[in-house]
A and B are shown apart, each in its own frame.
Chain A
Amino acid sequence: MSARSNILNKLRTGLAGSIPRPDDFDERLVTEPWQYAPEDRITRLRNLMEAVHTEIHQVHSDNWPDKVAAILAERNLSNLLHAPATAHGQKLAEYWPKSGSSAQLLAYDRPVEEWKEELFWQVDASLTGTVGAIAATGSLVLWPDRHEPRLMSLLPPLHIALLKASEIEDNLYAMMQRQNWSAGLPTNLLLVSGPSKTADIEQVLAYGAHGPKELVVLILEDA
């Protein structure tokens, strides 16, 4: 007998004579305490994310690349990883020569194996999109795909994320429903609620444990 059938048999014996519990999921318990007026969503998101060291700027869809250049300049960073096949990646690439920024624009356009060393140690910053955010918990939703791979939001010490104000939902439940997550998920869906951190030594909070030390969110107010 295989381990699989042994385990399943034991569990079935344990359940003998019992009936499955009904599905009485009460969605009000996870939605009602977490509802906000549309104009309050950004405030709630900002408050929560700023409390865990996220830097947030409210910008516009025509001028956000300026802000990206300014953020890099402030920190004296020498390069920025972008996703050239995404709309925001294209916009950034078009703008970059005009920005006067000294930072080099890098593209994530080949498999990680081909440039692992560089990706792990030499990339200073990255810019990715998001598919929305959750006001209740102060979380960004990232949906990595072939154009914007998973490691982009993990390896560089600075991660800049673009968020459309109209895509901020009240709570996780609402987000799942609106985007119909149960119909199909990507390889790796992520909720990101701040820069990487740890409190493993004496419960003292330290940022930049293994992922980004800094997270900057640009909220596109008109998008």
Chain B
Amino acid sequence: MTLNLTLKVWRQDGPRDAGRFETYEANAVSEDISFLELLDVVNEDLVAQNREPIAFDHDCREGICGMCGVMINGQPHGPLRGTTTCQLHLRHFKDGDTVVVEPWRAAAFPIIRDLVVNRTAFDRIVMAGGYVTAPTGAAQDANNIPVPKANADLAMDAAACIGCGACVAACPNGAAQLFTSAKVAHLGLLPQGQPERWSRVNAMVQRMEEHFGSCTNHRECEAACPKEISIDFIARLNRDYLKAQFKDRRQLLRATDVASEE
């Protein structure tokens, strides 16, 4: 089975340039190819016509690296639930469809070129505290601390995040709550993550808010997430953040320092 599609693709030469939609026809493409392969096909055509190909990010093409991701007809990663752009196949489109393709839009994700954005802000959130401090060599035997299977499974649900940015792209507020909460929950659910639990959530929330909008519980992120990560983790983040105000010893110590200085 083949299809004919009309693509309206956002083209932008550089971070500071104005962009525009350009229209391309993709004729008789197989319904078995993925959306990125469709862009490959369009790009081959463009190159043949001596026009510069569309820049888009991708790497694994297996839905795991989180590199790909564009707005397809107004939805991050397109219409199919729980799917990355690279795993979206054309059989989910109809012959004759017009497909609008646009990059993620958020202040924290500035456009580099065409459909490519800079997602370094996500790395910065992790830098602030998205880890367990466990220098190499210091570990005890892995089976010394049992972890209830249910907790480990839930932690894995949260850890499945691929950092693609669809949650931010989907959020009407440009918030990164789902991304941040997934990491906070993953580590917070495991015994290994407990010592830094409260300082972690404080630091990560603070860093997140330097870049992103605020969560007002629209639930768009959950619907857009290719790994179907639940907003329950956002509730958990909020709860941990509230508790951290009373439990983050690092901050409490600082509070007493401040008091004694004054």
Is chain B found bound to chain A in the same assembly?
Answer: no
List A residues at the B interface (Cβ < 8 Å). none
The residues of B with any CB-CB pair to A shorter than 8 Å are none
